[in-house]
Amino acid sequence: MILNSYTVLPVNDIEASIAWYRAALAFEPLYRHEGDEPGEPTNYAILERDGVRVHLILDEGLPEYPWAKAGMGYLYLRVTDAARLVEEVRARGVSLTRDLQQEPWGSLAFNLTDPSGNRIHLESWA
């Protein structure tokens, strides 16, 4: 049976992305994969906040991973309180891609864009 789903975001720089997700949204790194050969840089990481995990994969331009092009990802985070979270994000000095607004379907949401160009939509429902 299906137990869970994780988002894998392709990024240009794993360490810079870890730092951004930590600074912007308080995600903490759980795991770093150091590559398949000795001395290779980190090419995969798993971050977590409040039990939610986000995976990052390095865009290495490999033909067997055509989906792993940096900036092509979209992360939807359903949150308990978008108004409170947007204040937390602003206090951290993070630029919003779209300010907090009421959606036509009744939720409250805002958007961010990570350094690799992946879009992040954060939304809460009343």
Question: Mind listing the pLDDT tens digit for each residue in 28-56?
Answer: 999 999 877 788 889 999 999 999 999 99
**pLDDT over 90 (residue 76):** yes
CATH number at residue 18: 3.10.180.10
Give the dihedral sign, CA 76/113/14/23: negative
Domain span at 55: 7-61+69-124
SS3 at position 90? helix
Task: Please tell me the pTM assigned to this model.
Answer: 0.92
pLDDT of residue 44: 95
CA distance 125 to 123: 7
Strand partners, 51: none
Q: Is residue 1 part of a domain?
A: no
Whether residue 2 is contained in a domain is answered as no
104 in any annotated domain: yes
Total count of domains within the chain: 1
Q: What is the DSSP string of 62-111?
A: -TT-TT--TT--EEEEE-S-HHHHHHHHHHTTPPPSEEEEE-TTS-EEEE
